[in-house]
Amino acid sequence: MEFNSLAFLAFFAVVYGVYLGLARHLRLQNAWLLVASLFFYGYWDYRFLVLILFTIGVSHFAARAVHASAAERTRRRWVAGAVVANLAVLGFFKYYDFFSESAAALLEAFGMRADPFTLQVVLPVGISFYTFQALSYVVDVKRGRVAPARSVTEAALFISFFPQLVAGPIERAQSLLPQITSPRKLGWNAVNEGLYLIFAGYFKKVVIADNLALTANHVFSEYQKLEGVDLLVGILAFTLQIYCDFSGYSDIARGLAKLMGFELMVNFRLPYFARTPSEFWQRWHISLSTWLRDYLYVPLGGNRGGAGKTYRNLLLTMLLGGLWHGAAYNFLLWGAYHGAILVAYRAVGQRVAWRPPPSGLLASAFGAGQIAVMFTLTIIGWVIFRAGSLEQIGAMLAGLDFGWAKGTGKRVNQLLMFGLPLFLVQAWQYERGDLLAAPKLPPWVVGPLYGCMLAGIVALATRKSFEFIYFQF
Amino acid sequence: MFARARPTEELPAPARPARVALIVALTLLSFAVVNFAIGRALRHYTTNLGYYLIAYKWRLLLEQDEPASWLILGDSTCNQGVDPDVFDRSLRVSSLNLCTNASMQVLNDAWMLQEHVDRFGPPEGVVVIHTHDAWATNLGGGGGSIRRGPLAAGMAQIPLPWGFWERTAPGLDLSAEDERLVFLGRYAPVYAQNRTLRTWARNPTGAAARVRRRRFEANGFMPREASPGRARGDAGNHLKYVKRHRFRVAPWSRKALTAMEDLAKRHRFPLYIAHSPIVSTLEKQPAFRRYAHGMSEELERLTRGNEYVHYLDYWVTFPTKDMDQADHVSWKAAVKFTQELARSIQRTRPSEAKGRGRSK
């Protein structure tokens, strides 16, 4: 059940109505949300429920056991057991076929014949998201940052809360669990903000991402026949598509949660305005980048062991971050690429003393230049991410020039039509330093703005909508 | 603005209930305004030729200052096949081409004729022209209700009060799904015409060109250029169809024909049923001839016994170079087709009627 379906709107209307009706009964409210969340997940495929229930069971009982045990060794064993069990499920469903095929290919390279034994495993939606959320829960209990849930219902709701279940944000127990265990207060501020996030999220997903997907899909599938500006437009279209698709989902998830009195973490902060790779990762998929930082980069040693080890840790973290996105070499390569530019910026930054102009036009131009360079690096990354082969990456990047063909104008128009308004709004948000600048405008501006967005959503929806991209991860 | 890196936060957006209520109310109001404005704009700028055609022809019918004496009804084959100027010169009458398209079936002819009679009195003559499969296409519902989306979508473009399909003959009992389609088509153009709106958003120059290319004459005739390649391909499809089917007038077409026959009898005006033009390569095919023979027999049988109804059982054929589709002629061929139609009508008219009628 995708957010951009009528089934979901009907589902949410029923869930929300009953939820408000149970306002004074926290336990019943939580139980109702859990039933709704499991129904939401099972709506894709009821067999997936077995997996999520397994993850819930393992994580809950491991967390309680960790909490109950005083012996460090026992606590470690419980954590290790939970990590292994959860990663085994994730690994099997997400990576089995990939590794099987890769091993066969490797053996073949050494002259040994081995047919890959693939199972054509169906990837359960959102498994990477809820597995990481469950892992952080057990680890945080071990680290003493949070107490385990009092009941299995609370733990289950923490892992399966439907707004963020299939595409994040990947929540932390210390943030979400207390909101589950304590009575929630529905405030008008949250409704005001939630409405904005929902409208903005649907607009980004349904209007911008789905429409630019048509352009991006065409260019990436026909790249051999296209060149010049057409390729650039396709790459930029995908750059905006993936951002609007994913951040749109996060916005909707956070907006729905706000309407129910929950506060989920901000997952995107205008990432294409970043000036450096590290700033990019503070603005893009923040819930994943901070997860990787806290549960991988820091345990690996972070930046505590000198430059060499820091670079190694960065590269390893980004490689695994790439692999998190899927079982394919292009994701690994994309992770390595981001690791490399993180290392490069860090290395250059430590050796060259930057002295940016303090203020004025020159400072603005310098800042804009930094953003432009980082944006260029980012879109190269998206070519790696999206392309099906090394040959395609090379051909698309080498084919970029100012060549203008028949049909280019149409594609440029499509990019501008959907991309330019987004850029203008985000530049304004960036200037204000406030992602919620829009809902603070006067009601006579906000209301018509929402009305126009709603008309856009209704009119420009591709109807047979594309799947949200990040459900695949 | 880019002088320094800015931390971008979500700063709380305080609100009181009144503010939220006002925003929600203004959202709904502005959506309604946008929807209405888009509906008005789409009357002229829709890229959906079918929708435009239906609405245009109905407005032509309803907004006549001086009622036409002859009505030409039918589908798109006569929309671009019958030129009222030629028709009027040949028969010394005044006529309107009110033909729409095949999705409206024969039902639309009956509704238009009824509306004309109610508003302006009976015409002096009516011609109904449909391609072969328009007569044969069933509405699918059986037992009084229809479930065909295209017809419902087309009905939404008819500028008559809600529920007109129940009050006119033959009356329809729309299924709930079809009523929903008619409702959305009439009152929610933002939803119903999403393809047009997406075309405008994604390719405005292409959409503008499509709107510019659309040309209707004041008498309803839509002249089109020939497109032999398309006609050849379309002829193949027609051939496949006639090979697979035996002609039968669909129940709803029969009801519509009966309603028109009743009007003709009651108000004593002649009703002519004619075939669409056809590409000669198709007409020569034994399968088509077999199918056409069955069509002649059945239409002859249905129209027999009413002295006001005349079935013009002949086919006017054209070479591919004169066709836009297998049964759609270019504007040049439309002249010949219309002259042929006028001649055959002339042959059936009593001598005193010849030369009668108003000229425009």
- Find, in chain B, the residue whose alpha carbon is nearest to that of A368: B2
Above 60 in pLDDT, residue B10?
yes
Among B8, B40, B191, the residue to mutate for chain A (most A Cβ within 10 A): B8
- pLDDT tens for each residue of A368-410: 999 999 999 999 999 999 998 889 999 999 888 888 888 888 8
pLDDT higher than threshold 60 for residue A132: yes
B57 vs B63: CA distance, rounded Å: 10
Q: Is pLDDT at A188 greater than 70 in this prediction?
A: yes
Q: Which residues are registered as beta bridge partners of B126? A: B71, B271
CB contact under 8 A, B31 and A191: no
For residue B95, give the 3-state DSSP assignment.
strand
pLDDT tens-digit map of A2-36: 888 889 999 999 999 999 999 889 999 999 999 99
Contacts of A443 in chain B (CB under 8 A): 19, 22-23, 26
Residues 254..313 of B with a Cβ closer than 8 Å to A: which? Answer: none
Q: How far is A225 from chain B (nearest CA, A)?
A: 21
Question: What band does B359 get if pLDDT is binned at 50, 70 and 90?
Answer: very low
Range in A186-200, B80-94, B131-145, B311-325 the model is least confident about: B131-145
Do A269 and B9 make contact, defined as CB atoms within 8 angstroms? yes
- Is there a cis peptide before residue B170, judged by omega within 30 degrees of 0? yes
Positive/negative CA dihedral, B314, B138, B134, B121: positive
Parse chain A into domains and list their residue ranges: 6-184, 189-472
pLDDT at res. A131: 93
B19: contact with A, CB 8 A cutoff: yes
The verdict on B37 touching A (C-beta cutoff 8 Å) is no
Q: Which residue did the predictor score with more confidence, B111 or A463?
A: B111
- CB atoms closer than 10 angstroms to residue A47: 10
Do residue B8 and residue A455 have CB atoms under 8 angstroms apart? no
Q: Residue B10 is nearest to which of A417, A435, A455, comparing CB atoms?
A: A435
For residue A452, the SS3 value is: helix
Annotated catalytic residues of A are: 325
Task: Name which residue leads in pLDDT, A421 or B349.
Answer: A421
User: Other C-beta atoms within 10 Å of B311: how many?
Assistant: 18
Residue type, A4: N
Instruction: Tell me how many degrees the CA angle B314-B318-B321 measures, rounded to the nearest 5.
Output: 165
Chain B CB contacts of A446 under 8 Å are: 23, 26
Average pLDDT over every residue of B122-133: 92
CB B302 within 8 A of CB B214: no
Instruction: Give me the amino acid identity at A177.
Output: L
Tell me the C-alpha distance between B193 and A455, whole Å.
12
pLDDT in tens, A41-73: 999 888 889 989 999 999 999 999 999 988 889
Tell me the C-alpha distance between A132 and A164, whole Å: 13
> Is B30 close to A417, i.e. CB distance below 8 A?
no
Say what the pLDDT of residue B355 is.
46
Nearest CA in chain A to B24: A447
Give the closest of A275, A435, A444 to B8, CB-based.
Answer: A435
Top-ranked range on mean pLDDT: pick from A90-94, A117-121, A431-435: A431-435
**Average pLDDT taken over every residue of chain B:** 88
B200-242 pLDDT tens trace: 988 888 899 989 888 888 899 999 999 999 999 989 989 998 8
- Of the candidates A344, A292, A295, the one whose C-alpha atom is nearest the C-alpha of residue A319 is A292
* B208 in contact with A, Cβ within 8 Å: no
**Residue B80 — very low, low, confident or very high, per pLDDT cuts 50/70/90?**
very high
- How does DSSP assign A63-125, residue by residue? HHHHHH---HHHHHHHHHHHHHHHHHHHHHHHHHHHHHHHHHHHHHHTT-------------T
pLDDT at B111: 94
- Across the interface, whether the CB atoms of A460 and B19 are under 8 A apart is answered no
Chain B (170-199) residues lying within 8 Å, Cβ to Cβ, of chain A: 188, 190-191, 193-194, 197-198
Q: Answer with the residue of higher pLDDT: A286 or B143.
A: A286
Q: Binning pLDDT at 50, 70 and 90, where does residue B356 land? A: very low
Q: CB distance B33–A451 less than 8 Å?
A: yes
Structural element, H or E, at residue B128: strand B125-130
Q: In sequence order, what are the residues at sequence separation of 6 or more whose Cβ sits closer than 8 angstroms to the Cβ of residue B69? A: B93, B94, B95, B123, B124, B125, B357, B358
pLDDT value at A304 more than 60? yes
Average pLDDT value for chain A: 88
The partner residue sitting opposite A266, judged by closest CB among B10, B202, B203, is B10
pLDDT of B347 reads 87
**Subunit contact B34:A451, Cβ cutoff 8 A:** yes
- Model confidence at B3, pLDDT cuts 50, 70, 90, reads low
Residues 6+ apart with CB under 8 A from B231: B279, B320, B323, B324, B325, B326, B328
pLDDT(A105) > 80: no
Q: Please, which contacts does A60-63 make with residues 24 or more away whose CB atoms are closer than 8 Å?
A: A60/A148, A60/A149, A60/A152, A60/A155, A60/A156, A62/A138, A63/A137, A63/A138, A63/A141, A63/A148, A63/A149, A63/A155
**Could you report the predicted ipTM of this complex, rounded to two decimals?**
0.84
* Cβ pairs bridging A and B (under 8 Å): 157
Amino acid making up residue B292: A
pLDDT exceeds 70 at position B147: no
Closest residue, chain B, to A371 (C-alpha): B2
- Angstroms from B24 CA to nearest CA on chain A: 6
Task: Provide, as residue numbers in chain A, all residues whose Cβ is less than 8 Å from the Cβ of B28.
Answer: 451
Cα–Cα distance, A390 to A272 (Å, whole number): 25
User: Closest by alpha carbon to B225, among B316, B324, B319, B327?
Assistant: B324
Closest chain A residue to B28 measured between Cα atoms? Answer: A451
What residue of B is the nearest CA neighbor of A264?
Answer: B10
Query: pLDDT of A138-179, one tens digit each?
Result: 999 999 999 999 999 999 999 999 999 888 799 999 999 999
For residue B31, the chain A residue with the least C-alpha distance is A451
Chain A residues within an 8 Å CB radius of B10: 193, 266, 434-436
